[in-house]
Structure 1
Amino acid sequence: MNLSRFFRTQEVGIRGFLDGAIRPQRETKASVFTPWNDGSYVVVDLPEALWVNNNNKRELLYLAHTHVPTMWDRQNVVLRKLEWTQPDEHALEIVRQLPNNISFGAKIISHSDRIQMELWIKNGTDAPLTGLSSQNCLMLKGAPDFSQRTN
């Protein structure tokens, strides 16, 4: 992996606005160096949350923290911990299969002047998937150039 562009969250601490980040799952987080300052980075949380309609009620299908229960927490189902994979030296990728046969994945690709982020979801059930929404997060505290916008 081209470490001048990327490095993994477990190698640095996540700091900044963390009110909801109780026991964050690192599997959806990746730290990315800014192209203008190699010592500066942002933390991408992709996805932070996935919401669906479940019995006509909005419910969390996935959450990268533990401060709000998901549908799996309510059923006492523990999701196994995952790690990013590296399909090539410029990318990180993660795929999660959920117990209800819905899966999702994310990919972050490093370019010389930007990153490209992809997020997908696959409904492997017989029922329609309704009310789907995703929440992604970009934590900027590791990039001082954004401090006026984040304080």
Structure 2
Amino acid sequence: MIARQAVTKAVTQLLKDVTGKPVGQLTVPIDPATGKPYPPPYTLLYPLDHTTDDETLGDTHRTAVSVYQATLVSGPDPTRPGSRGTVEQVEWLTDKARSLLTRAADGDPGYLHALIIPGATCYRREATELGATSDPNDAIISYVIRFRFYLDTAA
């Protein structure tokens, strides 16, 4: 069986790698150096469905499908009073996150950015974009993508 916690750690790390920005699991990411929340831009990662039944009579739970919601957040620059999140910033962050779907350029069937899960491999990825939201009171703009990862137990 593929452990959900291992998948969540791997997806968190992959989003950190492709965006170059902090990722918080279910909450705003905290800077370990200060103990305070990172200022935007950052990503909020929400684990959603995790299905381990492959719907066959001989199911051995070797596979899993994991769904995550990534909320990409743009916000004011804390060094500039009165600043606001920008569409450009959230689109830049969204493009970076979406790059985890990029296939290898050499024609290899894998992905350009590896999803490293101990004991499992990811053979397919999908994304559904739910669009942008904004909160004019907080000067925050966010964009939501749901990622679906198809996993198999490593041989």
**Is TM-score (shorter-chain normalized) higher than 0.5?**
no
Structure with a larger share of its residues in helix: 2
TM-score, normalised via structure 1 length: 0.35
Structure with a larger share of its residues in strand: 1
TM-score, normalised via structure 2 length: 0.35
